[in-house]
A and B are shown apart, each in its own frame.
Chain A
C-alpha cells in the first residue's frame, strides 16, 4: 500500500490518494480557520483545497499557529 500513500505531516497515510485537500483537512483538523496547506512545498490558497486532488506520493503539510517566539 505504500505506493498509494500520501504523506501527511511527515507520516505515510493510506487512502489519501484520489481525495481532495479539503476532505483531508476536514479529517485532520476540527478547525478550518488559521491553518494553511502546502502540497509538495507549494502553498495552496483556500479556494484550491476543494479542487486539488491528491496523488500517491504527494507530500502534504497542514499547519496552524502555536505559541512561540
Chain B
C-alpha cells in the first residue's frame, strides 16, 4: 500500500522517527537504527570538546538517514532559538525539533517559552517540529503559529509509561491539519501501535529501543508496531459494543434446534 508520510515538504516511507540518545555505543545505535527502518533521526547540539561529537553523523550518512537536530537541554526560548540557528548552520537543514523543558527533573515542556521560541523560528524560516504537552489547545496554537507538525508527549521523556491520556491525543489528532507525531514516553511496541491507531501520523522514540536489553530486536518490534497501528487506523476498526448482539456465526440452522 502506498502510504507516504509527508512532513514539511518531505516524503518518507517510514513513520518511525528514532532518536540516537541512550545507546551504549555507536555500534549498538547503528544496529538499532537500521533495524528500525527509520529515515529521520534526532541529534542534539553540544559544545565541542565534550568527547561525544562527530561520529554519530558518520553513521547517519552511511545509511542515508536524514538528520533532525533538536534543542534538547534548553530551558528558555532564547536558548532554543540560538541552538536551532547553530544546528541549521552546522548541519545544513531547516528542520528543527524544538524542545524547551521547564526543569531537568520532569523534562516537561514549558508551554510559554515553547510558543515564544516557535514564533521566532517560524519567522526565521525553519521547519518547526515542537515537542509539546498533550494539550489540545496548545497543539492548536502551535499549528496556528506555523509549525509543520505537532509532537505531543505520550508521557514524560524517558519514563516509558506509555500513552497516559489517549483521549487528549485523540482530540489533538482529530483537530490537527498538520501531522501529529507522538513523542516521548513510549515504552513498548503496543504503545507505538496505539499511538498510530489514535490517528498519529508517526511515532518518535529513543529510550525504549536504545535502553532495551536487545535494542535491535526492540527496534524491529517498533517498526512493525507502527506499521500495524497505521494499517489498523486506515482499515477502520469496528465499534466497541459492551453488550454484543452481533454473533459472528449464523444464528439459524443449529442442529440442536
Residues of A within 8 A of B (CB): 9-10, 28-29, 31, 34-38, 41, 43-46, 61-69
B97–A65 touching, CB < 8 Å = no
Give the chain B neighbours of A28 by CB distance below 8 A: 48-49
Give the chain B neighbours of A66 by CB distance below 8 A: 43-46, 50, 52-53, 56
The segment from B87-95, B114-122, B185-193, B224-232 found at the interface with A is B87-95
For the A-B complex, the count of residue pairs with Cβ-Cβ distances under 8 Å equals 107
A68–B20 touching, CB < 8 Å = yes
Within 8 Å by CB of B90, from A9, A10, A41, A64, lies: A64
Give the chain A neighbours of B106 by CB distance below 8 A: none
8 pairs, A vs B, C-beta closer than 8 Å: A28-B48, A35-B90, A46-B89, A61-B47, A66-B44, A67-B44, A69-B97, A69-B206
Main secondary structure of the interface of B (DSSP, over half): mixed
Which residue of A has the minimal Cβ distance to B56?
A67
Count how many chain B residues have C-beta atoms less than 8 Å from C-beta atoms of the other chain: 38
| Alpha-carbon distance A27/B225, docked complex (angstroms) | 47
B57 within 8 A of A: yes
